[in-house]
Amino acid sequence: MTVPLLAALRAAHSALEAEAVPHAIAGGLAVNVWGRPRETVDVDLALAVSSIDELTSLVMRIQPRGFLTLDPRPLVFSRAWVGRLALDPDIARGLGRPITVDLVRPAGRGGDAWSRALLDRAPEVEVFGETLRVVAPEDLVLFKLLVREDRGYDLEDARSVIDRVGRSLDSRYLVSTALRLGVRGRLRKLGI
């Protein structure tokens, strides 16, 4: 992990803690914990907010803590809301560009209940010398299947988690939650 990426993770974690917003590492950083390590250039944090307005307000409240944003309104996808921030380049020191921090709230069919459940299930894991919450491997697989369907590497990431975690993966939870979220067909492509 690069120093700027770690700085972005620490700043986002600190800002969300100050706002008392439960969150867990998701995306590529979580894949590096549960799956095949790979390079990632952003920080994805899963959280549970009750509305798009609440996510907008959260982005505006944490933006002064060293972040930039062009638009505090979340990106709205069919299965996720994404509040996008960037760590100020002065804080990122020398990278030449801001580091993106995405605050991701699963939405759509079953997303409300699952966004809270995945945070309840997120274990504390030592990540880069700090104890932080990371979405559980099963929820990371579902997260990768749910959030965007247009990126092939998300399926590769999900497969790498399944391969690395192996038999300790809770396949019953995966199947039942995939059915509720409407991604059972995508999970089937991964052999589950």
Cα(53)–Cα(35) distance, rounded to whole angstroms? Answer: 34
So what's the pLDDT on residue 129? 86
Question: Where do the structural domains in the chain lie, given as residue ranges?
Answer: 3-135
Triad 187, 188, 190: Cα angle to 5°: 70
So what's the pLDDT on residue 108? 78
**Average pLDDT per run of 10 along the chain, which is 192 residues long?**
82 96 97 94 93 95 89 86 84 66 88 92 92 97 82 88 96 96 92 91
User: Long-range contacts: 167-176, Cβ < 8 Å, 24+?
Assistant: 169/137, 169/138, 169/141, 170/138, 173/138, 174/138, 174/141, 174/142
Question: 20, 12, 13, 24: which is closest to 122 by C-alpha?
Answer: 24
Number of other CB atoms surrounding residue 100 within 10 Å: 16
Q: Which residues, in sequence order, are CB contacts of 126 under 8 Å at separation 6+?
A: none
Task: Quote the longest CA-to-CA distance of the chain.
Answer: 46
Q: Tell me the torsion sign for CA atoms 17, 92, 160, 131.
A: negative
Amino acid at 52: I
Triad 70, 76, 78: Cα angle to 5°: 160
So what's the pLDDT on residue 92? 54
Amino acid at 76: V
What six digits make up the tokens of 77?
A: 């996808």
So what's the pLDDT on residue 7? 86
Answer CATH for 3-135 from 3.30.1360, 3.30.460, 3.30.750, 1.10.155: 3.30.460
Q: Are strands 99-106 and 42-47 parallel, antiparallel or unpaired?
A: parallel
Q: Whose structure tokens read 């505090």? A: 72
